[in-house]
Amino acid sequence: MPSHDIHLKYATLFLRSRRVIPDKSKVRFVDLLIDDPKSHAPKIQELVRSNFNLWLCIAQELSPHDLYMLLKILPTLGHDVLTQRFSPKRTSWSRSMISYLRQLIGCIFGREYGLLVDLHVLLDMAEKWCCDDELLRDWGREVGISPEILDYYAKHRALIDYDLNCTIRLKQGKCSRRDVARWLRFNESTEST
């Protein structure tokens, strides 16, 4: 996982590119909610319970059942709230969780901050996979990473690559996760019946 400084850097650049003045405490909260939901989800639960307008916004985005389940399970999820599943057979959870979190944060802080969920998850995967464009693009589309975030990543790829030490890690052969993920995504055999 990239450091919180790297997440903050690219979140700030993204928000500025969207003409939003970055609020570092909001950016940090999004990162911490994803990285440590056990500690930060109770703040979301309390906010939703105490703010009727927020509850209405979220209820418009999510079904009451989905909202109830999200608020119930979010504190029980571990690091990265299980958003980083990369096998095509297991990406439905990632797709749902990324979308739910984007909508939830969007209602709390605004749409642009909701997109930071996608950015956080994509940067985590870029770090794991050494910025493998084909793998990231394929996975990002599969799990519903916002096209705006995929475009932002493509535009800043060289700088992200540098900050994540991808070139160095590739030369040192420290990318076994990338090879496994690539095999699962592109070579997974289909079951014959």
* Host domain of residue 35: 4-187
Whether 192 is covered by a domain: the verdict is no
Instruction: Specify the number of domains making up the chain.
Output: 1
Whether 193 is covered by a domain: the verdict is no
Residues 93-119 have pLDDT tens digits of 778 888 888 988 998 899 999 999 999
Whether 73 is covered by a domain: the verdict is yes
Phi, psi for residue 174 in degrees, rounded to 5: -100, 40
Share of the chain above pLDDT 70, in %: 89
Cβ contact 76:121 at 8 Å: no
- What global pTM score does this model have? 0.84
Q: Which helix (H) or strand (E) holds 156?
A: none
Whether 112 is covered by a domain: the verdict is yes
Q: What is the mean pLDDT of residues 171-186?
A: 72
Q: Which residues contact 92 (CB under 8 A, 6 or more apart)?
A: none
